[in-house]
Structures are given as C-alpha cells and as structure tokens.
Amino acid sequence: MVNQNLYNYILGIGDNSLILGQRLGELCGHGPSLETDIAGTNISLDLIGQTRSYYQYAAKLSEKEITEDDIAFLRSEREYRNTLLVEQPNTHFGFVIARQYLFDVFHLLLLQELQHSKDDTLAAIAKKGIKEVSYHKRFSGDWIKRLGDGTEESNEKMQEAIDGLWRYTDELFEMTDADKEMVTEGIGVDLSKLKETYYQEVTELLTEATLQVPERKYFNYGGKKGVHTEHMGYLLADLQYMQRTYPNMQW
C-alpha cells in the first residue's frame, strides 16, 4: 500500500524545484549579461537535479510502473502542486531576481528542517540541497541589494517586482492535507513555523536594499491545490512539448 500522502508530499516539494528550474532554463542565452545568464542556468541545473532526486523517489514509491520523466512531463496542469510564485513569468530581470530571492529564503528554511526528517531519503536530498540553495540565496540576495540600492530606475523596477510578487508569498506556508499528515508522522515540515523567520529575514534584506516592504492583507493561493495562474499552461506547453508530440521519445 502506497503512502499517498508521502507521494503527494514529495511531489509538492519537487514541483516547486521543477517549475522554477524550467523558468530559469528559459533564460538560457537570454540573460542580461553573460554572468547572470550562467548563474540562472546553473541555479536551474541545481533545481532540476534536486527535482530528479524527488521524482525518482516518488516513482519508486508509486504502485504504477512510472519513471521520473512520467512525473515531470506527463501530468496535466491541475496535477502540479507547485506554488504560484515559482510559475510567474520572467517579466524583467527584477522579477527574476525577486522571484528567486522570495523562493530561496523559503527553500533554505524548508530544507534546513527537512534534513531532520524521519524519512532517510528526503533527509539526504535536503542535506545535499542545503549547500546549493545557500549559494542561490547569496546570489539573489546580493542582486536585490545591488538593484534596490542602485540607481533610481533600478530601485523602482526592483520595488515593482517585489510589490508584484508579494501576493504569492503567503502560499509558501499553506499546509495541505499531505503536509499536515507528514508533520504528524515526523516526515514533513511544519511550514507555519517557518513563516515568522521568513518575513523577518526578507524584511531585513529589503530594508537594507532601501526597498519598501509591501503591506498586504490579501494573498493569492491555489497552486498547492493544482489551481494555477494563467502562466502555467504556457510554461507546461514548452516543458512537455517533446513528450506530448513524440510520446516516449528518448534523447
């Protein structure tokens, strides 16, 4: 008997990495400078690598004969459990950096807890990921400061990105049924406990970057339940194109 909650839980975490990895992959060859282009694709590679570990584990747990590729490429939009934040488009570089930073802070807090999971595989993936994600956060945090505390125009654009993406931050801490069940079993992370540290850390950095912390009472949710923003379909059309057009094709 498969632990369906564990399966869903793993996908919930892995989907965030896959979708953000795909978004960053879209920037390959389109970054504003060579260094940021390489950084975006390097971070993408780390995230997709982590995704593979999560999906391989999920495929092993599944009763069906599936592989990591089936999980990545052959689900419908409603079956992806990533948060709305990571699927937001690469509007301008400020958005790319803000999306990255707002996710990196959460991601590192999550993995730091997940490394103590009772589930050995999840703990190992988390431990490995911590080293990588710390480096991602250093990169995105540095750019927030550089652009926020840069020119009038860069400050304005950075602020626009933070204001635009802020509405998706609360969903990071939303507890689904799978989350709750996994916390009870000592496998999952209680996301609600990360929230205070998250906003504190983000607030400190934004303040240092001379940016305003948005005051917002209403937030958008849905991704973790499979209800995505209008951008997700386009992203998946790109991501799944080869497998949908040439089923079972291999490189």
Partner 1 sequence: MTIELHPNIDAHLLETLESVSDPEIPVLSVLDLGVIRKAVEDNGTVKIKLTPTYSGCPAMDVIGDDLTKAFAAIGKDTEVELVLSPAWTTDWISEAGKRKMEEYGIAAPLEESADKEALLGNKKLVKCTLCGSTNTHLVSQFGSTACKALFKCDDCLEPFDYFKCLK
Selected range binding partner 1 among 71-79, 133-141, 155-163, 199-207, rule: CB under 8 A = 133-141
Q: How far apart are CA 122 and CA 54, in angstroms?
A: 8
Give the DSSP letter string of 104-127: HHHHHHHHHHHTT-SSHHHHHHHH
Q: What amino acid occupies position 110? A: L
Q: How far apart are CA 88 and CA 81, in angstroms?
A: 14
CB of 233 to partner 1, least distance (A): 26
CB of 160 to partner 1, least distance (A): 25
Residues 214-233 that bind partner 1 (CB under 8 A): none
- Cβ-in-10-Å burial (0-12, 13-18, 19+) of 248 comes to exposed
CB of 250 to partner 1, least distance (A): 13
Q: Is 145 in the site for partner 1 (CB under 8 A)?
A: no
Q: Is 45 in the site for partner 1 (CB under 8 A)?
A: yes
Q: Is 146 in the site for partner 1 (CB under 8 A)?
A: no
Q: How far apart are CA 157 and CA 87, in angstroms?
A: 20
Residues 65-124 that bind partner 1 (CB under 8 A): 120-121, 123-124
The footprint of partner 1 on this chain (CB under 8 A) covers a number of residues equal to 28
CB of 216 to partner 1, least distance (A): 31
Percent helix, strand and coil across the chain, each to the nearest 5: 70, 0, 30
Q: Is 169 in the site for partner 1 (CB under 8 A)?
A: no
CB of 130 to partner 1, least distance (A): 8
CB of 139 to partner 1, least distance (A): 5
Q: Is 35 in the site for partner 1 (CB under 8 A)?
A: yes
Q: How far apart are CA 80 and CA 88, in angstroms?
A: 14
Q: Applying CB under 8 A, which of residues 8, 61, 66, 127 lies at the interface with partner 1?
A: 127
Q: Is 179 in the site for partner 1 (CB under 8 A)?
A: no
The tokens describing 11, both together, are 């996908």
Q: Is 50 in the site for partner 1 (CB under 8 A)?
A: yes
Residues in the chain, how many?
251
Q: Who contacts 84 (Cβ-Cβ below 8 Å, separation ≥6)?
A: 168, 171, 220, 221, 222, 223, 228, 229
17 near 47, Cβ under 8 Å? yes
Q: Is 135 in the site for partner 1 (CB under 8 A)?
A: yes
Angle at 192 between CA 222 and CA 44, to 5 degrees: 60
Selected range binding partner 1 among 30-38, 67-75, 164-172, 179-187, rule: CB under 8 A = 30-38
Q: Is 49 in the site for partner 1 (CB under 8 A)?
A: yes
Q: What is the DSSP letter of 88?
A: S
Residues within the interface to partner 1 (CB under 8 A): 34-35, 38-39, 42-50, 52-53, 120-121, 123-125, 127-129, 131-132, 135, 138-139
